[in-house]
Structure 1
Amino acid sequence: MDWMAWTLPTALFFASIATALAVMSVLAIKRPSTPRVGVLGIETARGDRLFLTLLGSAFINLAWIGLTDLPQTFALGICAVFAFATFRWV
């Protein structure tokens, strides 16, 4: 990993996204997703909800960095709640 000079948090971040994609691929093969309409009023499948979770979490973290001086671990907790809510109700 020296060729990109990655830090450990950066490597863990991308490894977790790769793991999530792999898990979603296995789930899609074993139990195909059925689209459903949630709170947003749009039809979403499991992969759509993962994409919305990743995109929303990015915005949450950017807002956290820009608006507060508190540790980033709080934003991680907010992202976990957001991910749960997205997969449950969207």
Structure 2
Amino acid sequence: MNFEWMAWTPITAGFFITIVLILIGMTIWEIKSPCTERRGFLPMKTTRGDRLFIGLLGSAYIHLAWVGLTTFPVWVATVISVCFLVIIMRWG
């Protein structure tokens, strides 16, 4: 069998390292300061982990839409995604 392997570029590695660091940071934060559910502008009560998941998923959709529908540079979508994630984490 011939398997195709993913080409790990520094950008790809940086992306996954960032996600792992965020998860480690959230775990430490949860251990030091357990959170309770709260209600923000999202239509449900959420914890920090819920908001992180929603923010990361939304960021992925922003990037997919950006790449599929525009010809602008991807770094613009990254800036929008980071802003989206910060808004979800803070006020979601």
Give the TM-score normalised by the residue count of structure 1: 0.92
| Equivalent position to 2:82, from 58, 80, 83 | 80
- Structure 2 spans left out of the alignment, 5+ residues: none
Instruction: Give the number of the structure whose residues are more often strand, by fraction.
Output: 1
| Equivalent position to 1:29, from 23, 28, 31 | 31
- Structure 1 spans left out of the alignment, 5+ residues: none
User: Which structure has the larger Rg over C-alpha atoms?
Assistant: 2
| Equivalent position to 1:55, from 39, 45, 57 | 57
Q: 1:63 to 1:22 in 2, by over 3 A?
A: same
Alignment length, in residue pairs? 88
Match of 2:66 in 1: 64
| Equivalent position to 2:8, from 6, 30, 38 | 6
Give the TM-score normalised by the residue count of structure 2: 0.90
The code of the aligned residue for 2:12 comes to T
